[in-house]
Structure 1
Amino acid sequence: MFLFGDALRKKVFFNYEKRLRLHSPPEKIFEYFATFQSADGEVLMKPSDLMRAVVPVFPPSESSLVRDGFLKGERSPGELRSAPSKFFDVANGGLISFKEYIFFVTLLAIPESCFSVAFKMFDTDNDREINRDEFKKVMALMRAHNRQGASHRNGRSRGLKANGSVEDGGSLDYFFGKGGKARLHHETFIQFMKDLHDEILRLEFAHYDYNSQGKISAKDFALSIIAAADSSYLNELFKRVERLNSDPHLSEVRITLEEFKQFAELRDKLRPFSFALSGYGKVNGFLTREDFKRVASHVCGVSLTDSVVEIIFNIFDKNRDGSLNIDEFVKVLHKQQRDIPQPVASGIMGFLSQYRK
């Protein structure tokens, strides 16, 4: 009975945190997930806090915690485990201020292609490099196109200490040097964006790898898959995930970071993958585990292990007849693009509108 109650509380707080990410001002989101306070009173995030603020994650199954953050006046959920991060140690000194949070959320929310377009807009001499002031204009344009970036108030509306303007936030010294005289090359910045996405993925895996074993349980891997599903649909999926512990084989399965990354790569190639799955399913009327692996490999160049495929089918083989429910699976993966608030305007016209402003 205790386990049921504990699982229920985890779901309640998980849904609360999803709503908070999607509908709250960035100051409130930052305050909720940030776990560090400097000697002068500035609230700061650890890298793991940033991951939790942008990625919907359940508390790991091996942890007794039922939530990840809290607001002033609320009871602390307990000590949160923070995985070390060489990426943020190098790029940002290991701690993240509110203005830097806005910077990283902006990078994570906007597609790489949009940044490339904006970068080229301000590269007037076409040498694939921009200076510090031009980069600040790129970031201002990107923030105007993102809900959190557009609605921030420098952290002052909720009493957070935000030293300096958000315009000077992020990794400007890292890109341009202390004097701000260096120039940023397009490829250098795009690689930084890719490394940032990879690091957030690694921190998500580390979140579920609660005992630092380098592997996570089948249940935790399944929780990471369903975390982005609509709240109205989550209860049904959660019941299927709970069944994994009663399966003698799957209860012993452990997923590695490499397997975790392979599934993330497949998610990033969802459009061709879902098209191939749907086409194959319509023609044959049945999609087996081997069919699924073959489509992933031949269409997307992603090799999935038997363990990963077995977990996927245990969640999305609704009728337990050995055939994947393609629509159900694709719908959840489509939603699994990070729960970062959507841009304030969509499409190329919205982007150009912000550029003209």
Structure 2
Amino acid sequence: MAAVRRCRDLLRSLRPILWKEGIFTKQPVPRRSLYMIAAASGCTLAIHWFYKQGQDIVPVVHARETEKNEPTKEKATHRELRFRQFASVEYQGNIYMTPQDFLESVTEESPRPRIGRIRLTAQDVESMLRQTPSRSRGSNKLFRNLHDKGIISYTEYLFLLCVLTSGKVVSSTVSKEPRSGFRIAFNMFDTDGNQIVDKKEFLVLERVFSKQPDSEDGEGKKKEVLSKVIPAVETRIQDTSLMVHFFGKYGNDVLKYDDFHRFMENLQSEVIELEFLEFSKGMNTISEVDFAHILLRYTLLDRSEIEECIARVKDRIQQEKGITFQEFKKFCQFLNNLDDFSIAMKMYTYAQQPVSQDEFQRAVRVCTGFTLAKDVVNTVFQIFDSDGDGHLSSPEFIAIMKDRLHRGSRSHLMHTQGTWEAFRQCIRNEMKSN
């Protein structure tokens, strides 16, 4: 009854206004209009009452404040993102690369167009593993021959990237300490020191990258960023093409150092050859301009800066001599020893002195045991010698070539940003580290 009285009082107070606006006339007001006005008045009173009580009329969704101690999901690293970008197959909820995917990830800036990932069945995976050749049939065309008939896990992707950047690939007749990079990599797997690696030891790699820290601190805690990339530690690790190639179908074979070295050398040669063939178009040589294009891929230089470097090569090298595959391969092997080269260049860095071609060659010979072709060194100098004085800055060269060495796995994200400041910061960091 109180509500009715309030409606009646409200209508009486509104009557002069409604009369003035022409809503009420001397004619009798239809009962339907009175009902509508009464309903509107009732809603008005209800709103007024809720407001007085401090309640919300319509449920309001408030943003939940994040607790200070609540762990946040860690951002995926660039290598994780790049793996997911190129991985084209999925099996039992985990993402895998094919051998073709891996080759593209280290030779291309972006994957080939595709519609989603292919979901493999158990029969598909079994067929792939049956087609995987044994170590005795390994070659520098292993990944190209497998093409899309194989699977590579994320941890194996990281391992293969390490293979591509391992140094000391020169012959023992040239270097007093041959293959040290390969030997160190092998010894990391050889946990019991018996000079052979079995499947159980190789799987340590999987567990190292799959293990979650026990600490609850949000600072260094590895979150489940790779929940669909790396299988859980507790579950049985899926056999892959690489495991079958190393340890056989039943996992009973063992890997000796010579086998391991041969695989690493073959993989390096395969990737180098793939890059060379991309530009040689079936010819025996690539041009100096093509060589410059290959070197400047995956670096921090933006497009305009790369074009400037290419223009310098075109202007200063009037007569094209060409670079053979062996000359190109030697230079790539030299890049795998870039850390040793940076040590050899320390005296020039401390003295802030530029490096001549003869001094460059001497440093290469000291850290690798061989010298590079004169045309190759000359092309390198034309790329980086912006003022044409016949010298180059070793920190600048090393900083750019380190990104080239990692073939997009480290600098690709920064390269797409194309910021000159990022490049300068990289140079400063390299100079400090030297």
Compute the TM-score of the two structures, normalised by the length of structure 2: 0.53
1:263 partnered with 2:331: yes
| Greater Rg over alpha carbons, structure | 2
Q: Identify which of 253, 278, 289 aligns with 1:182.
A: 253
Q: CA deviation at 1:236?
A: 1.5
Partner-residue secondary structure (3-state), 2:87: helix
Deviations 1:236-274 (CA, angstroms, capped at 9, x unpaired): 133221343344525x23111111122112212222322
Query: 3-state DSSP class of the match of 1:69?
Result: coil
| Pairing of 1:17-28 with structure 2 (within 5 A) | 22=79, 24=81, 26-28=83-85
Residues 115 and 71 of structure 1: CA distance in aligned 2, closer, same or farther (over 3 Å): same
Equivalent residues in 2 for 1:237-276, closer than 5 Å: 237-247=306-316, 249=318, 252-276=320-344
**CA distance, structure 1, for counterparts of residue 211 and residue 145 of structure 2:** 26
Cα pair 2:196 2:257 within 8 Å, conserved: yes
1:52 aligns with: 104
The CA distance in 1 between the partners of 2:258 and 2:208, in whole Å, is 19
Partner of 2:395: 327
TM-score norm. by structure 1 comes to 0.63
Aligned 8 A contact 2:155 2:205 in 1? no
Write the deviation string for residues 95-116 of structure 1: whole angstroms up to 9, x where unpaired: 2457326465232233656743
Does the CA-based 8 Å contact 1:22-1:340 persist in structure 2?
Answer: yes
Contact kept, 8 Å, 1:208 with 1:220, in 2: the verdict is: yes
Label 1:142 to 1:254 Cα distance change in 2 as closer, same or farther (>3 A).
farther
Structure 2 counterpart SS, 1:174: helix
Query: What is the CA–CA distance in structure 2 between the aligned matches of 1:24 and 1:108, rounded to whole Å?
Result: 16
Amino acid at match of 2:113: F
1:1-357 map, 5 Å:
22=79, 24=81, 26-31=83-88, 45=98, 47=100, 49-55=101-107, 69-72=112-115, 87=139, 90=142, 94-96=146-148, 99-100=151-152, 102=154, 104-110=156-162, 112=182, 115-121=185-191, 123=192, 126-141=193-208, 151=226, 153=228, 167-209=238-280, 211-231=281-301, 233=302, 235-247=304-316, 249=318, 252-280=320-348, 285-338=353-406, 339-340=408-409
SS at match of 1:336: helix
Identity %: 21
Q: Equivalents in 2 of 1:315, 1:201: separation in Å?
A: 20
Q: Structure 1 residue 193: deviation in Å?
A: 2.5
Q: Which runs of 5+ in 1 are unaligned?
A: 1-19, 35-41, 58-66, 74-84, 157-164, 343-357
Q: Which residue number corresponds to residue 345 of structure 1?
A: none
After superposition, what is the alpha-carbon deviation per residue over 1:280-320, rounded to whole angstroms, capped at 9, x for unaligned? 46659443222222332244323112211111111111211
RMSD: 4.1
Structure 1 runs (4+) greater than 6 angstroms displaced: none
What secondary structure is seen at the aligned counterpart in 2 of 1:168? coil
Cα separation, 2, equivalents of 1:204 and 1:144: 35
Post-superposition CA distance 1:308-339 (Å, at most 9, x none) = 11111111112111221222212112222313
Residue matched to 1:352: none
What is the alpha-carbon distance in structure 2 between the residues aligned to residue 43 and residue 273 of structure 1? 35
SS of the residue 1:87 aligns to: coil
Counterpart CA distance in 1 for 2:299 and 2:196 is 40
1:169 Cα offset (Å)? 0.9
Task: Quote the Cα distance in structure 2 between the aligned partners of 1:23 and 1:181.
Answer: 31
Shift of the 199–179 alpha-carbon distance from structure 1 to 2, 3 Å rule, reads: same
**Partner letter of residue 106 of structure 1?**
L
Code of the residue aligned with 1:227 in structure 2: it is R
Whichever residue aligns with residue 238 of structure 1, its letter is E
Cα gap change, 1:119 to 1:317, in 2 (>3 Å): same
Q: Deviations for 1:32-68, whole angstroms, at most 9, x for unmatched residues?
A: xx9xxxxxxx997464x532212456xxxxxxxxx76
2 CA distance for matches of 1:130 and 1:289?
Answer: 43
